[in-house]
Amino acid sequence: MSGPRHECAIMGALGTPDAAELTYLGLYALQHRGQESSGIVSFAGGRPYVHKAMGLVADIFTEDVLSSLPGACAIGHNRYSTTGSSNLVNAQPILANLKGGSLAISHNGNLVNARELRDELEQSGAIFQSTVDSEVVVHLIARSREPTLDGRVLASLQRLQGAFSLLILAEDALYAARDPNGFRPLCLGTRPDGKGAFVASETCALDIVGAELVREIHPGELLKVTREGFTSLRIAEPHPEHACIFELIYFARPDSRLFGISTDQARRGFGRELAREHPVEADCVFSVPDSSNAAALGYAEESGLPFELALIRNHYVGRTFIQPTQAIRDFGVKVKYNPVRSVIRDRRVVVVDDSIVRGTTSKALVRLIREAGAREVHLRVSSPPLRHPCYYGVDIPVREDLIAANMDTDELRTYLDLDSLGYLSREGMYRAVGGEPRFCDACFTGDYPVRVEGNMDDKLVFERTAGELGAVE
């Protein structure tokens, strides 16, 4: 794994007495999508209960904390900051006391018009508590003149542009929404005994609470979940879908199903296509664990080369790993990966990775593999070259820092000290997921499905003129 950082996870439960506990379990299963902070809001007896803290889910939600979150409905959030700085005031869910009752919001994605909306709201007197784009949703709902909460939520979501998978919890209703492009995943599940409805970023969170997938929230849909059942409202007219292909390449857990596809099957397909496009005479295939495991298996299946476990990842290295001195920082990739020398020594190896971002991890890994005695090192990347930043909620750096935006494949092969380097083509990527592109692939192509105004943070200064844009809304 040398890919970009994850974004956020959301999870909600309604109609079950242990809603906060089940939300906690869901957040635990979704920890890979955000490790900076976590929070849960529940409702009981007409009032909200909230707990948010910096850190990992298992550390934050002790038994005592969970027992302080009563009620039959709850939503939660794991955060990795893509907008706003990393501190507790930016942790979600956002809880607000509005006329007519309290409301909590959990958001995954980036709103590309957040700055404009925030300026407009501040000019009309709104006071923001945080720097996260998601807070504009609260203010829009608070200021809406629609007579019902359904109408206020719907009218507010219609003002948003960009990527949002959202949960909104009121005392007796859970709203789940996906933006019209459907950038981020969001799925609905129920338990076979009918006790409880659940909405989560990925199906692995439904599995852990014993719920079965009913369906995904449709792009442009606002689904209202109450004890009486489900009501589907439309935020926008049907629209071409642009689901984030990077979710299938790298972010989502391989045991999750999203956008109608098994992540594991998608990744094996990427690996098989990669083997067809870039075959090589070699002795074995292995992955950069863990996100590239399934793609490496696909490569091995298609090429007929044996699959090996040759790089071992320390699973306990994360954001909590302290690097107190430069000397320790210099250990770099060795802290996270260690080669199995007996597998690698004197062999021609194919290494499968899901992406190359800055190239620093790849360079260090190749050195590690060569030091372990590999005779030849062939790197195969199970996605096209990453050349553009993401404006829809994924932390991909600016073009200057993306190595594939600054070197062609041959230059990169030399820089990384490889015997050969092969990227999966865009066509191969789509063959693996059913052919028909219904995905966003802007970080590979620069073809952004939703135009970004010049209103993002410094890192998000738009690099292309409007005339160069492909499909612009």
Quick one: 28 or 250, whose CB is closer to ligand SF4? 250
Nearest distance, CB of residue 127 and ligand SF4, angstroms: 31
Question: What phi and psi values does residue 360 have, to the nearest 5 degrees?
Answer: -70, -45
Quick one: 41 or 440, whose CB is closer to ligand SF4? 440
Q: Restricting to residues 165-184, name those near ligand SF4 by CB under 6 A.
A: 183
Quick one: 261 or 297, whose CB is closer to ligand SF4? 261
Q: Give CA–CA dist 111/214, Å, rounded.
A: 27
Site track 437-466 with ligand SF4 (rule: CB under 6 A), x = hit: ---xxxx-----------------------
Nearest distance, CB of residue 353 and ligand SF4, angstroms: 16
CA-based diameter of the chain, in Å?
73
Q: Which stretch binds ligand SF4 (CB under 6 A): 218-226, 242-250, 331-339, 364-372?
A: 242-250
Site track 377-416 with ligand SF4 (rule: CB under 6 A), x = hit: -------------x-x-x----------------------
Q: Binding residues for ligand SF4, how many (CB under 6 A)? A: 11
Quick one: 91 or 394, whose CB is closer to ligand SF4? 394
Q: Give CA–CA dist 249/135, Å, rounded.
A: 30
Nearest distance, CB of residue 356 and ligand SF4, angstroms: 14
Q: Which stretch binds ligand SF4 (CB under 6 A): 17-25, 97-105, 226-234, 238-246?
A: 238-246
Q: Which stretch binds ligand SF4 (CB under 6 A): 187-195, 347-355, 434-442, 455-463?
A: 434-442
Quick one: 294 or 357, whose CB is closer to ligand SF4? 357
Nearest distance, CB of residue 390 and ligand SF4, angstroms: 3
Supply the residues annotated as catalytic. 8
Quick one: 268 or 388, whose CB is closer to ligand SF4? 388
Q: What are the tokens at 116?
A: 């404009």
Residue closest to 187 by CA, chosen among 170, 162, 167: 167
Nearest distance, CB of residue 139 and ligand SF4, angstroms: 25
Nearest distance, CB of residue 210 and ligand SF4, angstroms: 30
Contact 97, 139 (CB under 8 A): no
3-state per-residue secondary structure call for the chain = CCCCECCEEEEEEECCCCHHHHHHHHHHHCHHHCCCEEEEEEEECCEEEEEEEECCHHHHCCHHHHHCCCCCEEEEEEECCCCCCCCHHHCCCEEEEECCEEEEEEEECCECCHHHHHHHHHHCCCCCCCCCCCHHHHHHHHHCCCCCHHHHHHHHHCCCCECCEEEEEECCEEEEEECCCCCCCCEEEECCCCCCEEEECCHHHHHHCCCEEEEECCCCEEEEEECCEEEEEECCCCCCCCEEHHHHHHHCCCCCEECCEEHHHHHHHHHHHHHHHCCCCCCEEEECCCCCHHHHHHHHHHHCCCECCCEEECCCCCCCCCCCCHHHHCCCHHHHEEECHHHHCCCEEEEEECCCCCCHHHHHHHHHHHHCCCCEEEEEECCCCCCCCCCCCCECCCHHHCHHHHCCHHHHHHHCCCCEEEECCHHHHHHHCCCCCCEECHHHHCCCCCCCCCCCCHHHCCCCCHHHCCCCC
Site track 129-158 with ligand SF4 (rule: CB under 6 A), x = hit: ------------------------------
11 binds ligand SF4 (CB under 6 A): no
Site track 244-273 with ligand SF4 (rule: CB under 6 A), x = hit: xxx---------------------------
Q: Which stretch binds ligand SF4 (CB under 6 A): 147-155, 193-201, 216-224, 243-251?
A: 243-251
Quick one: 175 or 392, whose CB is closer to ligand SF4? 392
Among all chains, which residue has been given the structure tokens 């209202």?
Answer: 224
Nearest distance, CB of residue 6 and ligand SF4, angstroms: 11
Quick one: 208 or 390, whose CB is closer to ligand SF4? 390
Burial string for 377-388 (b: 16+ CB within 10 Å, else e) reads bbbbbbbbbbbb
Nearest distance, CB of residue 89 and ligand SF4, angstroms: 26
Nearest distance, CB of residue 183 and ligand SF4, angstroms: 5
Q: Which stretch binds ligand SF4 (CB under 6 A): 52-60, 154-162, 351-359, 436-444?
A: 436-444
Q: Using CB under 6 A as the criterion, which residues of the chain lie in contact with ligand SF4 when the complex forms?
A: 183, 244-246, 390, 392, 394, 440-443
